[in-house]
Amino acid sequence: MMDKIQTALLSENVAEAMLHWNDATRREASQTYEFGCTLFNMYYYDEADLVFAPLLTKENETHLLGYLLGVAKLWFGVGKFEISSLYSRRAFHIDYTADNAAMHASNLVRSEKKEEAERLLLDTINREPGHARSVRLLAHVERTSGRQKQAKQRLEDCLLSYPSDEDWRLQYELGYILDRQGDYQGAMRVMLKAKSALQATANSVTPEWRARAERQWQTTNLLDTDRLTKWHSTKGGEDVVIMAGFPRSGTTLLENIISTHESCLGTDETGVLNTQFTEPIVFGASSAHDAVAELDDFYDDELAAGRDEYYRCTEAIIGEARNGRTLLEKEPLMTADLALPLRLFPQCKIIMPLRDPRDVVISFFFTIVPLTANSAGAISIEQSCKYYAEVMRHWLLLKERLPKARWMESRYEDLLADAESQTKKLAKFLNIDWHQNMLEHHKQKSSKAITTPTYSDVSKALYTRSTERWRNYEQELKPHLHHLEPYIEKFGYAL
C-alpha cells in the first residue's frame, strides 16, 4: 500500500495517493505519521489533517506519544494552534510530564485560552516546581495579563531555588520585565547571563550563518539594473507585495494595518518562498552565478507555474483563499533574499519597513527566538549590530537599482507620529482606497493566528514607548555604533 502511495506522490498525484490510503484495510501508527508528514511538508494541509486524525482515536498506548507530539509541533509551527492542541492534549493525557503539559499550555495560550493554560501550568509547577518552560510560560501569561510584579517574583524565585541549564528561558522573560519596569542595568545583566548560556549554540550555527550571508551578498550583487529591468518586463505577480525589512522593525504591525483593508491579505511569515523556492534554487546551487543563471533561464510558463504553487501553499497555511486580494508576503529577513521574489513576481511592489536601527538592534537582542543561522546574530549587541548592517546593505544596494515606483519605505516612527498621513501614503502606493479601519487595526478580529515572537503586542493600539528605547542601553551600544551609522544616516535618523 505504501509503495503505491509513494509512486503517486512522486508523480505529484495527491488525489490518487489519498485513494490508496483510504482503500487500506490496516494502517499502522508509523505509516499514518509518515504519510501525514509527507502531505504536510507538501503543503496539503487538509489532506494531512484527515490522515493524522485517527491518531486521536486510537487507544491510549504509550507508543503513540511521539507521533502525537510530532503532529502537535507541526501544526504549532504553522500557527494552527487549535488543531495542535488536540494532539498536545492527547499526549499529556497519555503521559502527564511537565514537558508535555507545557507544550499543551503553549497551544492554549496561543489560542487565547489563558485561564485554562494558567490552571494547567500551576498544576504542573506544583508537581515540578523547577520546570523552566512552565515557569517562563506562566510568568509570560501573568505579565501579559498585567501582573508584572507577580511574574517577576515567580521568575526570580525559580532562578534562586531551582537553577538549571534552562535558566536562560527565565532570564529572557525577566529581562523583558525589568526593562519595562525601568531597571535597565538589571535587564541587561540578566540578558547577558542568558546569552552566555546560549553561546555554544550560537557558535554551532555560525558557520552556516556566514556561508549563507556570503551567498546572499554574492547573489544580490549580480542583480544589476539591466537584469532587474529585463526581469520586470515579464508579466505576473501584480497581486503580491513584498514586505521585507529586519526583525523588530514594525513589519508585523504594518502588515496588520494594511490587512484591515478588504482588498489585502496578510501572510504572516509563512516561509513558503524560502522552503519551496529560495532554498533549492539559490542555496542549492553550486554558486551564486549558477543560481542567478537559473533564475534568468526560467520561461514565462515556468514562472506562472511557480506562482500557482506559491499561491496554493500560501493559501494552505493561512487557511483562506485569496479571492482576488493582494497578498502581503511579509518576511523581515527576505531583504537579503530578494532575488527570488523579484524574479518570481516580476510586477510585485516592495514595502520596506524601517525603524531607528539602534532601537531595532536592542529589540532584536531582547527577543526570545530559537538560535538558528538566521538569528545567531542576537547572541550579543555587537553581533546584532553587525547582522543588521549585513542584512540592510542589500536594500541600500537594490533601492538604487529598482525603479522608485516599485518600492516604498515606511518608517515606524512616522507611523506612530501621524498614522493617518502614513497610512494614506501606503494606500496610495498600493492603489487602494484609504479607510478609517487602517487606524484601528487592533480592533479588527481575525481568524488567522500570529506566529511571530512578538504575537502578544500586535493586537494593541499604537504606542510610543518603544521609540528611542536604545538610549537606555547607550553605553552598551556605543562601542558598536559604527556598524549602524551608515544606516542611521541613510534612513533619515539623527546621529
Average pLDDT over residues 250-263: 93
For the chain, the distance separating the N- and C-terminal CA atoms, rounded to the nearest angstrom, is 66
The residue type of 8 is A
pLDDT in tens, 428-440: 999 999 998 888 8
133-155 pLDDT, tens digit each: 999 999 999 999 999 999 999 99
What is the C-alpha separation between 389 and 122, in angstroms, rounded?
Answer: 43
Q: What is the pLDDT of residue 440?
A: 80
* 306 within 8 A of 190, measured Cβ to Cβ: no
pLDDT band at 495 (very low <50, low <70, confident <90, very high): confident
Asked if 221 and 292 touch (Cβ cutoff 8 Å), the reply is: no
What are the pLDDT digits (tens) for 271-289? 999 999 999 999 999 999 9
Residue 323 phi, psi dihedral angles, 5° rounding? 50, 45
Cβ 356 vs Cβ 492: under 8 Å? no
Domains of the chain: 2-199 (1.25.40.10), 208-490 (3.40.50.300)
Residue 441 has pLDDT above 80, yes or no: no
Beta-strand pair 407-411/264-266: unpaired
CA dihedral 414, 442, 102, 191 (to 10 degrees): 20
Tens digits of residue pLDDT in 25-68: 788 899 999 999 999 999 999 999 999 999 998 876 888 999 99
3-state secondary structure of 23: helix
| Spatial distance between the Cα atoms of 293 and 285, rounded to a whole number of angstroms | 10
SS in 3 state form for 251-272? HHHHHHHHHCCCCEEECCCCCH
- Rounded to whole angstroms, how far apart are CA atoms 358 and 495? 10
Q: Which residues contact 440 (CB under 8 A, 6 or more apart)?
A: 260
Give the cell for residue 59.
487507544
Output Rg (C-alpha) for the chain, integer angstroms: 23
Kindly indicate the confidence band of residue 455, based on its pLDDT and cuts at 50, 70 and 90: very low
Give me the pLDDT at residue 59, please.
Answer: 77
329 φ, ψ (degrees, to nearest 5): -85, 90
Position 443 confidence tier, pLDDT thresholds 50, 70, 90: low
Question: What is the per-residue DSSP string for 343-378?
Answer: HHSTT-EEEEEE--HHHHHHHHHHS----STTTGGG
C-alpha grid cell, residue 222: 549580480
Q: What percent of the chain has pLDDT over 90?
A: 86
Compute the distance between CA of residue 242 and CA of residue 465 in angstroms, rounded to an integer: 28
Q: What span, in angstroms and rounded, lies between the C-alpha atoms of 341 and 343?
A: 5
Enclosing H/E stretch for 330: strand 326-330
Q: What is the pTM of this model?
A: 0.92
Q: Rounded CA gap, 331 and 418, in Å?
A: 25
For helices 65-77 and 98-110, the axis angle rounded to 10 degrees is: 30
Q: What is the pLDDT of residue 448?
A: 53
Residue 79 in this model has a pLDDT that exceeds 90: yes
The three cell numbers of residue 250 are: 514594525
Grid cell, residue 110, equals 496561543
Alpha-carbon distance 341 to 138, whole Å? 40
Instruction: Give the three-state DSSP class for 57.
Output: coil
Query: Alpha-carbon distance 75 to 117, whole Å?
Result: 18
Residue 462 has pLDDT above 80, yes or no: no
Residue range 354-399, pLDDT digits in tens: 999 999 999 999 998 888 999 999 999 999 999 999 999 999 999 9
Q: Residue 420, Cα to own-chain centre: how many angstroms?
A: 27
